[in-house]
Amino acid sequence: MAYKFVPFKQKKLTEEEQLKNSETFYQALDERRSVREFSDKPVPKEVIENIIKAAGTAPSGAHKQPWTFCVISNPALKTEVRKAAEEEEKVSYGSRMSERWKADLEPLGTTWEKPFIEIAPYIIVVFKRAHETVEGEKRNNYYVNESIGIACGMLISAIHNAGLVTLTHTPSPMNFLTKILNRPENERAYLLLPIGYAADDAEVPDLQRKELDEIMVSYD
């Protein structure tokens, strides 16, 4: 069935407004940092819901919206996720990751220990939906990695915009999350994000981002 098409209302900005808005938005995003030390200060659930709604506005292949956001605040469940994630990470840091990889991470100071999973008031585990079952028939979704990557980018921006911090944690393999969170067989864990406030004494590496001329090539 075709969608009903309705007129699109283009937002009208002057060039001056465009310049101001684009600069302000860039400056705001440039303040975002991945934070590894969290406070346990609570966050209203409605804020988290708005953040998830923002992520859910992402474009997706054939508008299949192939994502599920599991929001966990239950302390026992957070402890279980932390334990299982650390077990995988211990093996990863111990033997699965190459020496080069570990050398690349050394300046960032990451380790197998993930206390933020328990400390942050919420963790979100994003699942990608590889396929759907419609009328008993298995139907693959399209561009699932692209779609969910875009949704996660918007999720991270929404978290930052709400004055909160996060970190993209990628325990590998992640299938323990399917089990702990009792997810259906068509879902695969994609990303784990703690959400909350930074600890008062949190520190971040003083890193630089690439300049525009390093990331943009113009073909005028």
- Given the rule CB under 6 A, which residues bind ligand IYR? 89, 105, 110, 169-172
Query: What are the φ/ψ torsions at residue 16 (nearest 5 degrees)?
Result: -65, -45
User: Which residue number is nearest to ligand IYR in terms of Cβ?
Assistant: 170
Compare residues 59 and 115 and give the one whose CB is closer to ligand IYR.
Answer: 115
Compare residues 66 and 171 and give the one whose CB is closer to ligand IYR.
Answer: 171
CB of 189 to ligand IYR, least distance (A): 12
Compare residues 54 and 91 and give the one whose CB is closer to ligand IYR.
Answer: 91
Output the six-digit token pair for 129.
């939906």
CB of 84 to ligand IYR, least distance (A): 13
Sign of CA dihedral 158, 164, 170, 175: negative
Rounded to an integer, what distance in angstroms lies between the CA atom of residue 195 and that of residue 201? 17
CB-facing half-sphere around the CA of 27: CA atoms within 13 A? 6
Task: Give the Å distances, CA to CA, from 82 to 79, 89, 90, 171.
Answer: 5, 10, 12, 10
Supply the DSSP symbol for 34. Answer: B
Compare residues 47 and 198 and give the one whose CB is closer to ligand IYR.
Answer: 198
Compare residues 85 and 141 and give the one whose CB is closer to ligand IYR.
Answer: 85
CB of 101 to ligand IYR, least distance (A): 7
Long-range contacts of 215-219 (CB under 8 A, 24+ apart): none
CB of 199 to ligand IYR, least distance (A): 18
Helices 45-55, 144-161: inter-axial angle, 10-degree rounding: 140
Compare residues 90 and 131 and give the one whose CB is closer to ligand IYR.
Answer: 90
CB of 47 to ligand IYR, least distance (A): 25
Rounded to an integer, what distance in angstroms lies between the CA atom of residue 141 and that of residue 134? 12
CB of 94 to ligand IYR, least distance (A): 12
Q: What angle do CA 94, 98, 99 make, to 5 degrees?
A: 85
